[in-house]
Structure 1
Amino acid sequence: MQYGICNLSIIPLRIEPNDASEMVSQLLFGEHFKVLESRKKWSKIRIAFDNYEGWIDNKQYEEITEEIYDEIRNSKNCFTGELIDFATDENKNFSMITMGSSLPFFKNQNLLINNSKFHYEGQIFNTKLPKESIVEIAFKYINSPYLWGGKTPFGIDCSGLTQMVYKLCGYNLLRDASQQATQGEVLSFIEESEPGDLAFFDNNEGIITHVGIIMKDNYIIHAHGKVRIDMIDHSGIFNLDDQKHTHKLRVIKKII
């Protein structure tokens, strides 16, 4: 088994091994993974954080040993909290990094990417935050454009938003909305929900395709065109701009 780590700001994770293939997720700076299959130009990987699989360009990561992989996995998580910032290596080269990037072996504002030492002075998240922090953190992504497979303030999808917000608060969610819907405890009514709970929505075939974070007073924050705030009722999401329902409610889950 081979192992790797993302040493660039953001790299696409694709469904097939070619540049024109659909991007299904992203790797952010500092994220580590297993290499499941290696080809001349592409590698199929499984991300350690959520076990999500896809293909990445071999030019866009560094190999690490199994020992380093295990050390990262067993060390305390630390994530960047600035919308965008930079880490500086020992040669004073900048690496731009976005919110939610990983900082392996972070101590005294220093971190290690494989054998390279970096310095980072920005805000960090490294503890479990109370449930009321979830909506507060979600507001950091407000007006971020929708991007299928995206995980950053410069482009994010609905389940990327929920996963990244929970990640910064110290909790693990799976990657896709349908996967996240398997987690947590079912709530019977909206009235039972609290800010920070997740609402899931399905299509005409009954497949869960959308997720958002419930706020107080029957509002919801979700990624639809952009990260936005709308109303939620027993039918689903009521778009305040278009004055119509856009998503059909399937289930509400209490994750924490």
Structure 2
Amino acid sequence: MTDPRVSPDPALAVLSEPKRVTAPLVDLRRQPDGSRDRQLLYGDEVTVLHHADGWSLVCAAKDGYCGYLPSDSLGSVTPATHKVTARATHAYTEPDLKSPEQHSLSFGSQITALSETATFIETELGHIPRQHLHRTSDVATDPAAVAGLFLSTPYLWGGNSAWGIDCSGLVQIACLACGLSCPGDSDQQAKELGRSLPPGTPYERNDLLFWDGHVAWVQTSETLLHANAGHMSVAEEPIDQAIDRIAAQGDGPVTLHKRLSLPDG
């Protein structure tokens, strides 16, 4: 388990109960009714450690991150067959784009197919355009391209979805789509992702640049992509300009330049 952030009280009876998230999006909190640390998506699998007063302390299977979420946002584990690979999609009442939508789902959500047509896949949530889904076994090979899907997405502290995302959320969602294990927070990512490169190493696509409390994807040798509070969105920015701007606002210099081992394309 990677640095879980929240651990159960030793005085509590600790469970080990597999569940999955059945809400389109749910906040993972440090305390019941507390502030958001991260978010989980529909289909994310968790282990429940404790239930109390309508809240469950869970540990997310994808990264070991622990926190509290409403117990009614959890359901039985059902093997997922497909995942959302568009930035966002809708599940419709009927296999018809003019029928009412029942749910909205973010990139990375995992669902179970019940039947398929040429244009829609029927799921437990409704009918989803098949262009927006891929098999769960399909793996992307270019994290920066995945991150680019979120260009202009609003910045949201602790966000992990198409409706709001932060710097570490943007790194995690792209890494997971490429089959790379990735923790949830930037300090964890700085410790666990890739290999460190010496200062002055030329930038390459899919490198990561870290600051104290911030992380960005390298898009090209001259540009990066990051979710940041300066733009309040996911933005493209010249690397040198970003380094100068972040230093000027008091957040210091780049602390790490790291390179990932990527799957073959």
- The TM-score with structure 2 as length reference comes to 0.76
User: What CA deviation, in whole Å up to 9, does each residue of 1:32-65 have, x standing for no partner?
Assistant: 110011112110001111111100011222244x
Q: 1:106 to 1:123 in 2, by over 3 A?
A: farther
* Gap change, CA 1:54 and 1:105, over 3 Å in 2: farther
Partners in 2 of 1:79 and 1:227 — Cα distance? 22
Q: Which residue of 1 aligns with 2:214?
A: 210
Match of 2:234 in 1: 227
Identity %: 25
Deviation at 1:119, TM superposition (A): 4.0
Shift of 1:197: 1.2
| Structure 1 Cα separation of the partners of residues 249 and 109 of structure 2 | 36
The structure whose residues are more often strand, as a share, is: 1
How far, CA to CA, are the matches of 2:248 and 2:151 in structure 1?
20
Give yes or no for contact 2:27–2:40 (8 Å, CA) kept in 1. Answer: yes
Structure 1 residues 37, 227: closer, same or farther in 2, change over 3 A?
same
Residue 237 of structure 1: SS of its match in structure 2?
helix
Question: Within 2, Cα distance between the matches of 1:107 and 1:186?
Answer: 46
Query: Are residue 140 (structure 1) and residue 137 (structure 2) matched?
Result: no
Matched pairs, number: 230
For 1:255, the equivalent position in structure 2 comes to 260
Contact 1:236 1:246 in 2 (8 A): no
Q: What is the aligned partner in structure 2 of residue 14 from structure 1?
A: 29
The question of 1:199 aligning with 2:209 is answered yes
Deviation of 1:94 (Å) = 1.9
| Pairing partner for 1:97 from 105, 116, 128 | 105
- The gaps in structure 2 that reach 5 residues or longer are 1-15, 95-99
Tell me if the contact between 1:144 and 1:155 (Cα under 8 Å) persists in the aligned partners: yes
RMSD: 2.9
Change (3 A) 1:181 1:58: same
List per-residue Cα deviations over 1:71-128 (Å, max 9, x = no partner). x4xx77x4212222223579x97222112212246874355xxxx5754324234423
Is contact 1:221–1:229 with CA below 8 Å preserved after alignment? Answer: yes
| 1:103-142 pair list within 5 angstroms | 103-104=111-112, 108=116, 109-111=121-123, 116=124, 118-121=126-129, 122-125=131-134, 126=136, 127-130=138-141, 133-142=142-151
Structure 1 residues 139 and 93, CA, compared in 2 at 3 Å: closer, same or farther? closer
Contact 2:38 2:159 in 1 (8 A): yes
Q: Which amino acid aligns with 1:28?
A: L
TM-score, scaled to structure 1: 0.78
Cα distance in structure 1, aligned partners of 2:167 and 2:248: 20
Moved more, 95-104 or 3-12: 95-104
SS in 1 for 2:18: strand
Task: Label 1:32 to 1:104 Cα distance change in 2 as closer, same or farther (>3 A).
Answer: farther
